[in-house]
Structure 1
Amino acid sequence: MSGLVSEWGKMNMIDAERRLLANALLDISNEWFILLSESCIPLYKFSFIYNYIMKSKYSFVGAFDDPGPYGRGRYDPDMAPIVNITEWRKGSQWFEIKRKLAIIIVEDTTFYPKFEQYCPPPCYVDEHYFPTMLTILAGNALANRSLTWVDWSRGGAHPATFGRTDINEDFLNRVRGGNECLYNNRNSSVCFLFARKFAPSALEPLVHMDSKVLGF
């Protein structure tokens, strides 16, 4: 596997994620699988995150129907009948899934060729392949949201990046607060367990943040 390069928005990114899952599945004690980036941070202590995920009835995969040009506008009709436009979904690539869904992803030979052929940039496959495939095969198992918070308010193709000067107690409380979502079909204010995108310069102030703020 050495020498392989993963590129943003291309199928080799999916290849890398599938290999990660395949290797993690070799350990039969692994029941939950979380994909994070090197720019992600936890928003709560480990025990809280573990219990939140363990007690959830659903896997956390962002999957929604976007009727606009960056959603359905990326759909290629040649993907039918394997994928119809009414089944086309968009979502974040940062997911948490249970073992059953990880196996579905690794074993897939039906949807992969369609996405490889008909979803090149500007159809960014990492935003559509997992959300669409899992919605079709196991839609009832999805919470249809990600556990990773990002800030798209600044516009552009990538979310905002936060550095040293952004890190303070008010900022972290703002990231964790003011949210509403469903958790096991009940209203909840705890919607995100992780956040991105944090630059290396944010590490030092995060490490020195009062333990009472993050709980660890």
Structure 2
Amino acid sequence: MIRLFLAEDQALVLGALAALLSLEDDLDVVGTAGDGETALQKVKELRPDVLITDIEMPRLSGLDLAARVRQECPGTRVIIVTTFARAGYLRRALDTGARGYLLKDAPSEQLADAIRRVYAGGRAIDVGLAEEVWDAQNPLTEREIQVLREAETGQSTAAIAASLGLSVGTVRNYLSEAMGKLGAEGRIEAARRARERGWL
């Protein structure tokens, strides 16, 4: 039996996913959680073979959860199942060590097959996104990403500088560079465009 743990913040989706996967003879859902922090604690306790997680969750995102699981429970493989059909998210998921990335509208048989493939040591990536990811490299530096994340919340340049321990002029430069790379006229638009591409 392949032991599964499911992390998903929408109770209806979580229940449906658990019910569908439990119909498979070789899959056993050993636990579920509605937020990333609880999921991490339970995964550490239960040590499932495969963790299936959404990206957007309270307390700890699916991407952060995948990274922590890779560090703290290396025997548990991670599959991201999400609505985000964005190459940037896929790239980040792969960088965290996730072995699978599927969309929520995929048929349940496809998910079951993906679980078996990942459990056996392979990968399971949505085909359309896999092709896109090579054409969607993130042009932003780590500092530009940090500055845009702060700007996204509406903070002033001075507040961003204080938060990141940078000078106001340096923050302005990072914002200007990021806006240029994203073809945006303002910092909020730049943050929105980066978010839409899955780069923040």
Q: TM-score, normalised to structure 1's length?
A: 0.27
Higher relative CO (Cα under 8 Å, sequence separation at least 6) belongs to 1
* Structure having the larger proportion of residues in helix: 2
